[in-house]
Amino acid sequence: MPELKLSKPIDINGEKVDKLTYNFEDMTARDKVEATKEFKKSANVVMMQEFDSDYHLYLFAAAVKKENTSIDTEDVLRMNAKDSIKAEALVRDFFFLTSEE
């Protein structure tokens, strides 16, 4: 699986983690719905999903959870801002920029 190398490790379940593996390929519509619910539960609104970088972080967290169920969204959201920009770009590239339609 692909992984995002973190420039600054984060603490997850008592361990320092310097990379996050993720799985966009096997995400289902249900995974996307759950990520959207979690995003909205945090008092956010998706305006235009293609351009909403905060929403992209929740989709990235869902892809990380798809690969490792012991990691939750709050763990992923503790990554530093520089790494979050990389995660957002991965989501944008996979879901929105590679679309043939």
The mean pLDDT of the chain is 93
* Residue the block writes with tokens 């719905």: 33
Residue 32 has pLDDT above 80, yes or no: yes
* pLDDT at 44 (0 to 100): 86
Considering the chain, what percentage of its residues have pLDDT values greater than 70?
96
**HSE, side-chain direction, 13 A CA sphere, residue 3:** 9
How confident is the model over 50-73, as a mean pLDDT?
95
Q: How far is CA 17 from CA 36, 76, 95, in A?
A: 25, 10, 26
**Which pLDDT band, with edges at 50, 70 and 90, does 47 fall under?**
confident
The structural domains of the chain, with segments of one domain joined by +, span 3-97
Instruction: Provide CB contacts within 8 A for 62, sequence distance 6+.
Output: 27, 31, 32, 34, 35, 73
Instruction: Provide CB contacts within 8 A for 49, sequence distance 6+.
Output: 55, 96
